Amino acid sequence: MHRAKRSRSVLIAVATLGFVTSGLGAMAAAVPAGASTPFQPAGYDFPLTDAKSHQVSLTVKVPKITCKKSDKAGDVINTSITGTTGGAAFDAAGVLVSMSCTGTTASYSAFGIVDNSTRTPTVTVQAGDVLSIAVIVSTTFETASFGDSNSGQGSYVDGTGFDASLGSVDVQGGSGSGHFPKFAPVTFNQVRLDNKPFSRDDPVAFDQQDSGGTTQISAGPVNPKGTSFVDTYITNT
């Protein structure tokens, strides 16, 4: 496992799933021009190098965020698989947890998305809720599902499938620029790729940095079992 900066091609996944999708588009629109947070999440990517079915699964506890009036953009927890269709068009499936602020009031929600655009209804969640997430993709089928062990709520959505090339588990603060709320450490547990510890597939760690290279969110090391890591808020520039 090693660290590197995300390329623009990788960022398409987060842009599409996190902020271009209609449910979070308003969050991006609220960001003031000229702020310094780039479109770079913090977490792990892992390559998917063959055409078989792939599954990314994990549990994550929704962290508490602290909202200030200066926080104009929210935070997103992302679990996704991306790739291309037979016509080489980009495609993605994933589950996102949105954490946003209205003034100093925090709100939390989750939804799944497949075929790069078809999504489940948004489910309201709370800080402290534990979500079980699974994303499955093959060339003929894809699904994104999640369940909230605290409330018993959950949802899933199925799609048509694509050639998977990348899995991602990460947190992003902001929508490309602007202040975002501070959050408690996010622990991703039982992170598995194809029912095996995800560390076996040479994941690459990324920190979220501002345009000056200052780390805003840090992706911690994978635990000895190869199934857990922590994303930590560092600073908001």
The string of pLDDT tens digits covering residues 110-147 is: 999 999 999 999 999 999 999 999 999 999 999 999 99
231: confidence class by pLDDT, cuts 50, 70, 90? very high
DSSP letter assigned to residue 127: T
* pLDDT, tens only, 89-118: 899 999 999 999 998 999 999 999 999 999
38: confidence class by pLDDT, cuts 50, 70, 90? low
Q: What is the CATH number of the domain that holds 163?
A: 2.60.120.700
* Residues in contact with 57: Cβ distance below 8 Å, sequence separation at least 6, in sequence order: 132, 133, 134, 135, 190, 191, 192, 195
Q: What is the pTM of this model?
A: 0.86
How many domains are contained in the chain? 1
Question: Over the chain, what is the mean pLDDT?
Answer: 84
Q: Which domain holds residue 64?
A: 2-233
By residue count, the chain amounts to: 237
* pLDDT, tens only, 170-196: 999 985 456 899 999 999 999 999 999
Q: Which helix (H) or strand (E) holds 230?
A: strand 229-233
Is the pLDDT score of 82 beyond 70?
A: yes
Which of 183, 207, 165 lies closest to 81 in space, CA to CA?
165
Amino acid at 123: V
Looking at residue 212, its pLDDT comes to 84
Which of 155, 143, 124 lies closest to 62 in space, CA to CA?
124
Average pLDDT over residues 4-28: 39
